[in-house]
Amino acid sequence: MMPPGLVPALRDAHWLTRRRVAAWGIVLLAEELLLVLFVAFCLHSPPLEAEHPTSTDFVSFYAAGKLALAGTPALAYDQAAHHLAEQHATAPGVPYMFFMYPPVFLPLCACLASLPYLVAFGLFQLVTLAMFAGVMRGVLGEKGWAWLPPMLAFPPVFWTIGLGQNAFLTAALLGGFTLLIDRRPVTAGILLGMVCYKPHFGLLAPVALVAGRHWRAFWAAAITIAVLVGMSIVMFGWNTWEAYLATFAASPEIYASGRIAFAGMVTPFGGVRLLGFDPGDAYAVQAIATIAMVAMVALIWRLDVSRPLRGACLLVATLLDVPLALFYDMVLALVAIGWLVREARVHGFLPWEKILLLATYPVALAAWTAGTAWHIPLGPAITLTILLLCLRRVVASARAAGNARPARRMDAGSAPFLASRVTDSRASS
């Protein structure tokens, strides 16, 4: 039997103050750092040392950059040549890391590949993390630094750093887009256009811009994409794009095969495959989810919904409308959480909202183990939970706006009466 008062304590979570959240973030961050050090020790210390050499996802970018610098950028899409470049950059026998990015990403890869591997790795992570942190600070509207430990303690942040992935860059660009869309639409559009190196993450944004009639941002994004694509053709030739398009055409088969672990996916497709269903069922579920996300984003961005709610819905829907979004990509969900927290500070937290947002941290920490050991898709469950919290706030906001309209009409009609009462009371005093 539950102790009396436990349900109200969890529902309202008044005890979950800013100071406690910051302190809890510091504790969790310290635990995660210790865990990372322990794993690193195990991988590099006999007799627990890994049987085969290991590398990170970053080697994929670095190897593609080396091939571009060598004047053979199209070989970045040749798995044999690309794998050889990865081994040359790290060690013979490292597992292959796919490169499925369009040629617009190759200039950045080439810049990184001009540096020593470890220097490039560290610089890329530090710069993109700083960009992401700056966007998060703007989203939260914070001036101090109490928000930083909870941000860094979010488990996908560690995954991004450990794998050397580009999720910080993606979250900074898309988060910056949601931050600037109302005040600086052209800049917001440019940031959105720069996400074309990960084109599947930009599918919902045009829907939002058209629904919300943000035409300046729409055309700024379109021009930015056209410029980046044109530059890549000039720099690397059309044959590089042909090689990329062939790789892109083969990507659904790779996603369905399990060569990219289903336990690391946070999409409906990944969740259904992890549960053991065949690719046809998974793609059918994903198609339904994609249609639902498109309709939802179009409706929310067309309505008179606050910028935090519009941004949060778009970002978390981006993780659900495509077959491939991996665990480190959930830093986008952290930006959505930031928007929800900002909205709650203005209008108050809803019942169960605080505790559910807090629960995303330990659940995310356990997601990989639950997926690999027991085939439980916790990643998609987290993204879906955050989406439902966003939709709940949208509904609450619509109801509040609907209740406010009759109240405003009543106040306007009774204003002379109220004014006379005030006058009378002052006269009598």
Cis peptide before 53 (omega within 30 of 0): no
Instruction: State the Cα–Cα distance between residues 266 and 328, nearest whole angstrom.
Output: 9
- Phi and psi (nearest 5°) for 250? -90, -5
Per-block mean pLDDT, blocks of 10 residues, the chain (429 long): 79 92 93 81 58 82 98 98 96 93 98 97 97 97 91 95 95 98 97 97 96 98 98 97 95 89 96 96 97 97 94 98 95 98 94 96 95 96 97 91 63 39 33
For residues 323 and 255, is the Cβ–Cβ distance under 8 A?
yes
What is the number of other CB atoms lying within 10 angstroms of the CB of residue 78?
17
Instruction: State the Cα–Cα distance between residues 274 and 374, nearest whole angstrom.
Output: 9
Q: Sign of the C-alpha dihedral, residues 406, 409, 412, 415?
A: negative
Q: Please tell me what DSSP assigns to residue 199.
A: G
Per-residue pLDDT, 219: 98
Per-residue pLDDT, 57: 94
For the CA atoms of 396, 402, 406, 409, the dihedral, rounded to the nearest 10 degrees, stands at: 110
For residues 81 and 174, is the Cβ–Cβ distance under 8 A?
no
For residues 144 and 159, is the Cβ–Cβ distance under 8 A?
no
Per-residue pLDDT, 46: 58
Give the 3-state secondary structure of residue 348: coil
> Please, how many CA atoms are within 13 Å of residue 165, restricted to the half-sphere of its CB?
21
Instruction: State the Cα–Cα distance between residues 358 and 374, nearest whole angstrom.
Output: 23
Instruction: State the Cα–Cα distance between residues 149 and 179, nearest whole angstrom.
Output: 21
Helix (H), strand (E) at residue 391: helix 378-428
The residue with tokens 């001009």 is 114
- Phi and psi (nearest 5°) for 105? -85, -15
Give the 3-state secondary structure of residue 306: coil
For residues 198 and 170, is the Cβ–Cβ distance under 8 A?
yes
For residues 68 and 112, is the Cβ–Cβ distance under 8 A?
no
Report how far apart, in Å, the C-alpha atoms of 239 and of each of 28, 106, 124, 252 are: 48, 14, 28, 22
326 has which bridge partners?
Answer: 265
Angle, CA of 169, 215 and 340, to the nearest 5°: 50
Report how far apart, in Å, the C-alpha atoms of 44 and of each of 31, 37, 41, 90 are: 20, 11, 5, 15
For residues 168 and 128, is the Cβ–Cβ distance under 8 A?
yes
For residues 218 and 196, is the Cβ–Cβ distance under 8 A?
no
Instruction: State the Cα–Cα distance between residues 156 and 332, nearest whole angstrom.
Output: 10
Of 129, 180, 150, 189, the closest CA to residue 22 belongs to: 150
What is the number of other CB atoms lying within 10 angstroms of the CB of residue 39?
11
Report domain extents, the chain: 35-130
Q: pTM (2 decimals)?
A: 0.92
Give the 3-state secondary structure of residue 265: strand
For residues 301 and 211, is the Cβ–Cβ distance under 8 A?
yes
Give the 3-state secondary structure of residue 326: strand
Per-residue pLDDT, 44: 58
